[in-house]
Amino acid sequence: MLAIGQKAPDFTLFNTARKEVSLQDFQGKNLIILFFPMAFTSVCTAELCEMRDNIAVYSGLNAEVVGISVDSPFTLAKFKEEQHLPFDLLSDFNKDVSQAYDSYYDTFVMNLKGVSKRSAFVVDQNGLIQYAEVLESAGDVPNFQAIQETLTNL
């Protein structure tokens, strides 16, 4: 499990526009990283739409948002478009980043192998983890209030 104050694992993943996005791209900003199991499922949709609906709050706290799942960039593009999400969705199709963040189910529902666990991380302007929440149950959502409090205190 990743600890508060630890350097966040680096990543470079493709977004829905098939452009590479790296952790370093957010230097000087706070970053909320949301891992989610699968696009188009009810809890994932509710979670990401909660972030969409409160994006001004997070922007006001100098925070960017990215969502990461093992879905393909093409699936994520359709999901982003349909839900009008104003932040990048990144494809961890090869599952390396989910594993680096300890946010990985070896076996998920319907015996699907290698799916991201729902989790939330706040990475500060210096690349250090300031909040980490990895949920065992995919039916739960992150504690958005705790995320906002963490950002407020940075």
Q: Which residues are catalytic?
A: 44
Strands (E), the chain: 12-14, 20-22, 30-35, 63-69, 88-91, 104-107, 113-116, 119-123, 129-134
Run of H or E including 60: helix 55-60
Q: Cβ(148)–Cβ(55) under 8 Å?
A: no
Distance CA 2, CA 8 (A): 8
Distance CA 151, CA 124 (A): 8
